[in-house]
Chains A and B, each alone.
Chain A
Amino acid sequence: MSHRTVVAAIVASAVLGLAAAPTEVMAQARDQIRIVGSSTVFPFTTAVAEQFGRAGRFRTPVVESTGTGGGMRLFCAGIGPAHPDFTNASRRMTAAEFDTCQRNGVTEIIEMPVGFDGIVIAVRKGSPKFDLTREQIWKALARQVPVNGQLVNNPYQRWNEIDPSLPNAPIEIIGPPPTSGTRDSFVELVLDVGCRNVPEIRAIQDNRARQQACQAIREDGKFVEGGENDNLIVQRLAADRTGTLMGVFGFSYLDQNTDKIEGKTVDGVEPTYENIASGKYPVSRSMFVYAKRAHIDVIPGMREFIAEYMSDRAMNAETGYLAQRGLIVHPAANRARFREEVMNLRLMTRP
């Protein structure tokens, strides 16, 4: 390699690199829908996006999994091609998020109720069956529990110490880390409810202290944070020979692995599709997708994407491709109403 070519190559590539950067950046108009938000809704929105792209009229939307909170921040940052068109949420938009949106010019928002996600407590298939109540789960997991009228550091090592009717098996639970939306919902739907009727907790006057007492999870190794990857929790449950290990994750992972694991009944209700859809199973949450009204008719395909998401082809409880992926859809009557409201671009009010 002669020195001249070397120098020429270096200079040329540097110039090329510098020149390439600014020219291409200016291409601002966007012909592709962009979606951000919850990792729980992600599997369903991506399925709709893929189906939508296959029809061939529009480009397949890009879906990012940023978590509900992260999605709201991006979504509410403003109007224009630099900001996403939709955001997935595994809970409703909060009033504070709505206000942020308003401040940044995202004044017109359409709320699409998508369905429910159940949070299951699963064990290896074939483990001894016993019912759990949310109060028992709270007692097994809380950092401090009442013993003889006093809140003390959680002394329970085995289930039958909590309630003699439960089997003599060690308490071992793997669950999601605090960064996960599943954890937020688990805390809200199981722990907050589980401690509600405990007299020692009710006696706490200060709201924040009471909330703290309800939501704090023990850190003595009985509860293990399993990481964001729910498949790993499933694998660990399936590999657990004793059958006492329990895992906490979303219903779709149970649905895909029913040959290896099974869901525990909570408050006497089994975590099945039907029970979650009918609202009988207590540990379930609503999922939403939010759309920007101002982007409709500017970003091509948004109307059609909403139509695809709310269509019977996707949402039908029996044949819909989202239902087949484990999405628990709203009952048919509600679905029809939601579809009509969303297709008429009804704007949401402050939550």
Chain B
Amino acid sequence: MMQPLHAPPNEAGVSALPRRVAESMMPTEERIGSRHTDAAAEARLRARYAAQRRFKAYGVLAIGVAIGALLWLLITLLSNGVTAFVQTNLRLAITFDPAVVDPQGNQSPESLAQGDFGRVIRDALRQRFPDAQGRVAVRNLLALLSSGAEFELRDRVIADPSMIGTTQPVWVLASSDVDMFRKGFFEKAADGGAGGRLNAQQVAWIEELAASGDLALQWNRLFFKAGDSRDPELVGVLGGVLGSFFTLFVCLVLAFPFGVAAAIYLEEFAPKNRFTDIIEVNINNLAAVPSIIFGLLGLAVFLNFFGMPRSAPLVGGIVLALMSLPTIIIASRAALRAVPPSIREAAYGLGASKMQVVLHHVLPLGLPGMLTGSIIAMAQALGETAPLLMIGMVAFIVDIPQGLTSSATALPVQIFMWADNPERGFVEKTSAAIIVLLAFLLTMNAIAIFLRKKFERRW
């Protein structure tokens, strides 16, 4: 740095004497090169500036590494998961023979529910490829269809019974192997097959369908309205999302009022004595207890002693509430402490009682901070799987949960379970579910910021 080096005045001012008097008392050579302007001082100053620049650089580096890691995570997630939002479908000319799909002949949902939609789809596919002859070839051909295609088609026909008796082109779901091939996750092998799962003939069929425009990627509606499945093309996150929602609802309803009440009492009313000190130490300790311990507690107390149902969001919510209580209490106490004493003093000055001061003034002003703390605790609870393991929420559950006591799983659990499945199609679904979880978290944090901004007061 080449700028002129001026010693800051205060550093020279250690001596109590006025500067000029001090200089006049110094020997001549020192007056010319003062202690703060000579070469050694300049070197020292350069070293100090360099140290500061290095310190800043470390900070920038730390943030850079963090941003890099985050970007890397997001990019891998997006590149792996974004394809899961579209799904390969086949277009087949399906003949809805009333005798097959509508056994009672009255087009009622009950009658259609008994209809054999699998057969009409299979017939349409076999008509499309009459070259598939013999048991093995037919089986290979039918393997292009998803095992869930018929149920989806049935629901569509129940919604629109006018399709019965007609022949029309309909998009039906392809199997996961076809989907993986279409999306390029299966490489073509030397023998014409792909991914070790499709043989040469199947690949030829897929390519023929693609060439005539009868094979296309379409928006994956199922992913947002289905629960778990063992077929990657049929899975959905709705079960996990609702499970997480119910669990967090119970958690919030229990933890927030208790947490805030405890914080108000401890911060405003409780006497300072050994007993409250012990409570305080314990709250701080509880905040650091591994979450699996709370799961064990839930198993022992709520399932085994109170006989609550396994896998229920109610129990999950109670366990997570116990886990988030310390965080909420600590955050709420900090929020109460941040309310300026002048507010309390003014209220006392006007003759308010202690309870009036707290409920009319301190609590409303501390509430935004409490809300933020609570939502952060909720976000933490949203990501937990360990405590849920012990109370049976890590399970294969197809049905969408209907309420607080129906069996449910949670979004992170769903991710954990999909990551463990052998089928290749689950790789992208896992990433997609993580994207949904991140969106969920982002929404919660956005709500936290909104609430804080709306109710925050500045002094």
- Interface residues in chain A, defined as those with a beta carbon under 8 Å from any beta carbon in chain B: 1-3, 6-7, 10-11, 13-14, 16-17, 20-21, 24-25, 27-28, 30, 32, 34, 39, 42-43, 46-47, 49-50, 53-54, 56, 59-60, 62-65, 82, 228-231, 250, 252-253, 255-260, 318-319, 321, 325-326
Question: Restricting to B174-226, which residues have a CB under 8 Å from any CB of A?
Answer: 186-187, 189, 194-197
Identify which of A16, A28, A47, A56 contacts B230 (C-beta below 8 A). Answer: A47
Identify which of A28, A32, A53, A256 contacts B423 (C-beta below 8 A). Answer: A256
6 contacts between A and B (CB under 8 A): A1-B367, A30-B309, A39-B420, A50-B230, A62-B311, A321-B147
The verdict on B354 contacting chain A, using a C-beta distance below 8 Å, is no
Identify which of B256, B364, B397 contacts A1 (C-beta below 8 A). Answer: B364
Q: Give the complex CA separation of A16 and B317 in angstroms.
A: 14
Known: A24-B314, A46-B396, A326-B422. Is A3-B253 also a contact (CB below 8 A)?
no
Give the distance to chain B from A110, nearest Cβ to Cβ, in Å: 22
10 nearest A-B pairs in the assembled complex, by CB-CB distance: A258-B196, A259-B196, A14-B257, A60-B398, A63-B396, A64-B395, A46-B396, A17-B253, A17-B254, A256-B422
Known: A24-B314, A25-B308. Is A230-B422 also a contact (CB below 8 A)?
yes
Give the distance to chain A from B76, nearest Cβ to Cβ, in Å: 13
A319 touches B399 (CB 8 A): no
Known: A6-B364, A21-B318. Is A229-B420 also a contact (CB below 8 A)?
yes
A60 touches B367 (CB 8 A): no
Q: Which residues of A lie under 8 Å from residue B360 when comparing CB positions?
A: 3
Identify which of A3, A6, A50 contacts B229 (C-beta below 8 A). Answer: A50
The verdict on B77 contacting chain A, using a C-beta distance below 8 Å, is no
Question: Restricting to B295-318, which residues have a CB under 8 Å from any CB of A?
Answer: 303, 306-311, 314, 318
Question: Restricting to B302-357, which residues have a CB under 8 Å from any CB of A?
Answer: 303, 306-311, 314, 318
Question: Restricting to B239-267, which residues have a CB under 8 Å from any CB of A?
Answer: 250, 253-254, 256-258, 260-261
Residue of B nearest to A27 (CB): B405
Question: Restricting to B30-46, which residues have a CB under 8 Å from any CB of A?
Answer: none
B395 touches A231 (CB 8 A): no
A3 touches B422 (CB 8 A): no
Additional A-B contacts beyond A13-B257, A25-B308, A43-B422 (13; CB < 8 A): A1-B455, A11-B257, A14-B257, A20-B253, A60-B397, A62-B311, A64-B311, A65-B394, A228-B420, A230-B422, A231-B422, A256-B422, A259-B186
Give the distance to chain B from A64, nearest Cβ to Cβ, in Å: 4
Identify which of A24, A42, A255 contacts B405 (C-beta below 8 A). Answer: A24
Residue of A nearest to B302 (CB): A25
Give the distance to chain A from B375, nearest Cβ to Cβ, in Å: 15
Residue of A nearest to B417 (CB): A65
B306 touches A25 (CB 8 A): yes
Known: A10-B257, A252-B422, A253-B422. Is A64-B394 also a contact (CB below 8 A)?
yes
Q: Which residues of A lie under 8 Å from residue B417 when comparing CB positions?
A: 65
B396 touches A231 (CB 8 A): no
The verdict on B158 contacting chain A, using a C-beta distance below 8 Å, is no
Residue picked from A2, A21, A24, A39, most chain B C-beta under 10 Å: A21
Identify which of A17, A28, A53, A250 contacts B250 (C-beta below 8 A). Answer: A17
Q: Give the complex CA separation of A306 and B397 in angstroms.
A: 18
Residue picked from A24, A39, A47, A256, most chain B C-beta under 10 Å: A256
Residue picked from B187, B303, B364, B417, most chain A C-beta under 10 Å: B364
B230 touches A32 (CB 8 A): no
A59 touches B399 (CB 8 A): yes
The verdict on B404 contacting chain A, using a C-beta distance below 8 Å, is yes
Q: Give the complex CA separation of A53 and B397 in angstroms.
A: 10
B420 touches A13 (CB 8 A): no
B230 touches A231 (CB 8 A): no
Identify which of B148, B230, B419, B424 contacts A325 (C-beta below 8 A). Answer: B230
Q: Which residues of B lie under 8 Å from residue A63 when comparing CB positions?
A: 395-396
Question: Restricting to B386-431, which residues have a CB under 8 Å from any CB of A?
Answer: 392, 394-399, 404-405, 407, 417, 419-424, 427
Q: Give the complex CA separation of A257 and B427 in angstroms.
A: 13
Q: Give the complex CA separation of A49 and B197 in angstroms.
A: 24
Q: Which residues of B lie under 8 Å from residue A321 when comparing CB positions?
A: 147
Q: Give the complex CA separation of A2 and B365 in angstroms.
A: 11
Q: Which residues of A lie under 8 Å from residue B197 when comparing CB positions?
A: 256, 258-259
Q: Which residues of B lie under 8 Å from residue A7 when comparing CB positions?
A: 359, 363
Q: Give the complex CA separation of A89 and B404 in angstroms.
A: 30
Q: Give the complex CA separation of A321 and B229 in angstroms.
A: 14
Q: Which residues of A lie under 8 Å from residue B113 when comparing CB positions?
A: 56
Residue picked from B197, B256, B309, most chain A C-beta under 10 Å: B309
Q: Give the complex CA separation of A250 and B422 in angstroms.
A: 10
The verdict on B72 contacting chain A, using a C-beta distance below 8 Å, is no
B253 touches A13 (CB 8 A): yes
B420 touches A49 (CB 8 A): no
A54 touches B151 (CB 8 A): yes
Identify which of B195, B250, B407, B420 contacts A32 (C-beta below 8 A). Answer: B407
B314 touches A20 (CB 8 A): yes
B419 touches A231 (CB 8 A): yes
The verdict on B139 contacting chain A, using a C-beta distance below 8 Å, is yes
Q: Which residues of B lie under 8 Å from residue A60 when comparing CB positions?
A: 397-399
Q: Which residues of B lie under 8 Å from residue A2 when comparing CB positions?
A: 364
A49 touches B424 (CB 8 A): no
Q: Which residues of B lie under 8 Å from residue A64 when comparing CB positions?
A: 310-311, 392, 394-396
Q: Which residues of B lie under 8 Å from residue A46 when comparing CB positions?
A: 230, 396
Q: Give the complex CA separation of A200 and B196 in angstroms.
A: 44
Identify which of B254, B309, B422, B455 contacts A25 (C-beta below 8 A). Answer: B309
Give the distance to chain A from B387, nearest Cβ to Cβ, in Å: 15
Give the distance to chain B from A287, nearest Cβ to Cβ, in Å: 15
B254 touches A50 (CB 8 A): no
Identify which of A21, A42, A43 contacts B314 (C-beta below 8 A). Answer: A21
A3 touches B318 (CB 8 A): no
Q: Give the complex CA separation of A82 and B306 in angstroms.
A: 11
Residue of A nearest to B393 (CB): A64
Residue of B nearest to A261 (CB): B196
Q: Which residues of B lie under 8 Å from residue A318 when comparing CB positions?
A: 139
Q: Which residues of A lie under 8 Å from residue B423 when comparing CB positions?
A: 256
Q: Give the complex CA separation of A6 and B370 in angstroms.
A: 12
Give the distance to chain A from B334, nearest Cβ to Cβ, in Å: 18
B404 touches A62 (CB 8 A): no
B307 touches A82 (CB 8 A): yes
A256 touches B399 (CB 8 A): no
Interface code B259-280, partner A: CB below 8 Å = 1, 0 otherwise?
A: 0110000000000000000000
Give the distance to chain A from B320, nearest Cβ to Cβ, in Å: 13
Q: Give the complex CA separation of A24 and B196 in angstroms.
A: 50
A255 touches B254 (CB 8 A): no
Give the distance to chain B from A289, nearest Cβ to Cβ, in Å: 14
Residue picked from B318, B399, B404, B419, most chain A C-beta under 10 Å: B399
Residue of B nearest to A319 (CB): B139
Residue of B nearest to A232 (CB): B419
Q: Which residues of A lie under 8 Å from residue B148 when comparing CB positions?
A: 54
Give the distance to chain A from B254, nearest Cβ to Cβ, in Å: 4
Known: A6-B367, A17-B257. Is A53-B398 also a contact (CB below 8 A)?
yes
A25 touches B407 (CB 8 A): no
Residue of B nearest to A14 (CB): B257
Q: Give the complex CA separation of A319 and B139 in angstroms.
A: 8
